[in-house]
Structure 1
Amino acid sequence: MTESAAVTGIGVIAPNGLGTEEFWTATQKGISGIERISRYDPASYPTRLAGEVTGFEAGEYLASRLLPQTDRMTQMALVASDWALADADLDPAAVPEFDMGVVTASASGGFEFAQNELQKLWSKGPEYVSAYQSFAWFYAVNTGQISIRHGMRGPSGVLVTDQAGGLDALGHARRHIRKGTGVVVSGGVDASLPPWGLVSLLSTGRLSPTDDPARAYAPFDTSADGHLPGEGGAILVLERESRARERGARVYGTVAGYAATFDPGPGSGRGPGLRRAIETALADARVTPGAIDVVFADAAGVRDLDRAEAAALSAVFGPNGVPVTAPKTMTGRLYSGAASLDTATALLAMRDGVVPPTLRVTDQAADCAIDLVRDTAREMRVNHALVVARGHGGFNAAMVLRAPAAD
């Protein structure tokens, strides 16, 4: 029998909460972390709102020698991994080093570090550029730094599929678990909000120019005009379920099904691949659409993309056939951190029987026939949750999570 991948630890750093429980409390209450960008004056940019992580001081959690070597995203990833391992009550020193792997997602690498060093290069000269630039910007740096910090020398990797990356990383982690690795630390954390990062995100044409935090980023709404960027994400600890049970670990849930697809090119005459990803993930989990209790939506906030996602969900579940939520409206879209944070949120919804709300949808579009959980949380039992994600460029991913069996 194929070994199940159980989630035993969660570490969250998000715009509306540092730490899993602070984030979860705010998310249930519909508390948003979206505000005007504060680390620099965004007045000259078309998008001026974002989900910034505030109150995070890396020096409070990490040794001073690490700070000049690492980008903000890596500092957050290291702290989130520490929190996830503590939550799992797992001491890496007690596990054989080759029985632990790391798989993370990245969308941009260390943008803030890279911008600072490029500014030194242009203004002062190459002798002022930090030697750490050689790896601090690199998209695989979070995987490397986590593995070094905890002595994890088993199978590792990085997935670069934009917003879908968080699910792809977890899907890859499950593959390692099934092949025999005992523990895999996985997920995604991103931080692409410095000016260079923001300009790069603006190039997609998908960011909202709305300046009112109470109106910007309203997916599935008739007024939808794009999404807002954010930083942060979630790191999860996955273990072989039998091993987790043997050591008496608390299990949040298991990764029951996963699939990824890629949209066909323009002009092909073929439709997007999201529906196929969902159906394949359900088949992988060996569940029918009726078994899914809630869907955590990708929620692009772009009318055409929202319409396509709603059509895929309606095709699989029927119009208004399953509750759908998009708690990322409280954080912004976190790029590689988005789907792993949605996964963590879905597992917490299973634990507590509460589905968090979607904010700012005041006039749901008629062509988005989904049962959207709006404004306030919905209390309900969640045995199976579906998380869907799409990355810029045609990436689609879907994951089915299963609540732990009652003891």
Structure 2
Amino acid sequence: MRAVVTGLGVAAPSGLGTGAHWKAALDGRGAIGPVTRFTADAYPTRVAGQVDGFEPAEHLPSRLLPQTDHMTRLALVAADEALADAAVDTASQDAYGMGVVTAASGGGVEFGHRELQNLWNRGKEYVSAYQSFAWFYAVNTGQISIRHGLRGPSGVLVAEQAGGLDTLGQARRHLRRGTPLVVAGGVDGALCPWGWVAQVSTGQLSTVDDPGRAYLPFAAGAPGYVPGEGGALLVVEEAEAARARGVHRVYGEIAGYAATLDPRPGSGRPPGLERAVRNALADADVAPGDVDVVFADASGVVGRDREEAAALVAVFGPGGVPVTAPKAGTGRLFAGGGSLDAATALLALRDGVIPPTPNVPCADPGYRIDLVTGAARELPLRTALVLARGDGGFNSAVVLRGGDAR
């Protein structure tokens, strides 16, 4: 059994749609700017990666708008694009042979925040009945399933930034158990006061107001990370089933996956990222020397950047593999970040080009990694490693193999 990706859908600060995102990534164009979704003047962090120009009514039926959070609307648009990209006619397929697995961090936080305001300021009569599910962390899975009639095995994973990659591992498990097709990935966001204070409380957010200097992963003196919204959804199919369906294009194969959990702080045990990398490579039957590019988690927090660089050096050697972090241009997208990196990595494999790390002039030499900066780097690419680390100790690694795997 081989799990192949046949469709991509992107809704991110770098662009609404896969083409717009890929162009911005190749150009190294940053999409971080002052927060406009709410008034952030009183908070220490005042910049974010936002999906500008998104008008839900242009993409979704009016009946869905009152019952959906902003992140769910983005997820529905990304799912529409992914299924169309894969040329899946869901009406002609077995509804129970198609599933959905999404990742989330907190659910429809912005919707919930608004309804709490209504409750506090106006009374219980003004709280929407849709609050019962619009805030729920599994809501994206449910709404995508209903919209497209996908009744197969489905679920949601909560592992913060790592969750977007975990969905790909879970999709592959469903394929191995006999489900031919799974929509997988994450589209997330909590750009509202309720979501903002949760991020501020971590102490890891950048307090730099200049969008071009606020999020500088692997740079000397990196000031922390910038939150963002959006992500990507991928259509994952069993290779033989895709061939039987007459699939017209395959982006690549999910060749390996692994996840680990960091030990308790103060235990003296090492972080789990290196083990996740080695396990994913072993799962894919790939040697370190076969990896052509790494899409890094790129925390932007000095201690966590140091841990990730140390893991890469331990596995690949100093400067042993090109490393990139396109998310420096979008911010960290919570559960949407890992799947967006996976989609970007598949596009890189397709076109033989590594997008640069925006805004970072060079990596701190002490990290001893070959960070791609400045301009895109053209190379023959066959295998990519994508990493994600979630707050709470989650580590995930996915190995993607490019080429037409039909």
Normalized against structure 1, the TM-score is what?
Answer: 0.98
Query: 2:332 — aligned with what?
Result: 333
Shift of 1:180: 1.1
What residue identity is the alignment partner of 2:380?
R
The equivalent position to 1:220 in structure 2, one of 218, 221, 235, is: 218
| Alpha-carbon distance in structure 2 between the residues aligned to 1:320 and 1:340 | 25
Q: Is the 8 A contact 2:104 2:188 kept in 1?
A: yes
| Alpha-carbon distance in structure 1 between the residues aligned to 2:264 and 2:9 | 37
What residue identity is the alignment partner of 1:375?
G
| Alpha-carbon distance in structure 2 between the residues aligned to 1:398 and 1:303 | 21
Shift of 1:137: 0.3
Query: 1:297 — aligned with what?
Result: 296
The equivalent position to 1:120 in structure 2, one of 113, 118, 121, is: 118
The equivalent position to 1:75 in structure 2, one of 60, 73, 76, is: 73
1:29 aligns with 2:27: yes
Shifted more, 385-394 versus 266-275: the winner is 266-275
Query: 1:345 — aligned with what?
Result: 344
**Residues 155-234 of structure 1 correspond to what in structure 2 (within 5 A)?**
155-234=153-232
| Alpha-carbon distance in structure 2 between the residues aligned to 1:215 and 1:101 | 41
| Alpha-carbon distance in structure 2 between the residues aligned to 1:285 and 1:335 | 26
| Alpha-carbon distance in structure 2 between the residues aligned to 1:168 and 1:70 | 24
Q: Is the 8 A contact 2:318 2:368 kept in 1?
A: yes
| Alpha-carbon distance in structure 1 between the residues aligned to 2:98 and 2:222 | 43
| Alpha-carbon distance in structure 1 between the residues aligned to 2:362 and 2:379 | 24
Query: 1:374 — aligned with what?
Result: 373
Distance change in 2, residues 1:282/1:75 (3 Å): same
SS at match of 1:367: helix
Residues 48-104 of structure 1: CA distance to partner in whole angstroms, max 9, x if unpaired? 110000111111111101100010011110110000000001111111011000000
Q: Is the 8 A contact 2:258 2:398 kept in 1?
A: yes
SS at match of 1:109: coil
Shifted more, 397-406 versus 121-130: the winner is 397-406
The equivalent position to 1:95 in structure 2, one of 93, 96, 99, is: 93
Give the fraction of aligned pairs with identical amino acids, expressed as a percent: 63
Shift of 1:363: 5.1
| Alpha-carbon distance in structure 2 between the residues aligned to 1:398 and 1:406 | 21
Query: 2:308 — aligned with what?
Result: 309
Q: Is the 8 A contact 2:383 2:400 kept in 1?
A: yes
Shifted more, 388-397 versus 241-250: the winner is 241-250
Query: 2:143 — aligned with what?
Result: 145
Residues 271-314 of structure 1: CA distance to partner in whole angstroms, max 9, x if unpaired? 00000000000000001000100000000001000000000000
Q: Is the 8 A contact 2:309 2:368 kept in 1?
A: yes
The equivalent position to 2:104 in structure 1, one of 80, 101, 106, is: 106
RMSD: 1.0
Q: Is the 8 A contact 2:293 2:385 kept in 1?
A: yes
Residues 190-216 of structure 1: CA distance to partner in whole angstroms, max 9, x if unpaired? 111111111111111111000111111
Query: 1:360 — aligned with what?
Result: 359
| Alpha-carbon distance in structure 2 between the residues aligned to 1:184 and 1:404 | 20
| Alpha-carbon distance in structure 2 between the residues aligned to 1:241 and 1:8 | 9
- Unaligned runs of 5+ residues in structure 1 are none
| Alpha-carbon distance in structure 2 between the residues aligned to 1:190 and 1:161 | 12
| Alpha-carbon distance in structure 2 between the residues aligned to 1:405 and 1:66 | 37
Shift of 1:127: 1.2
Shift of 1:20: 0.2
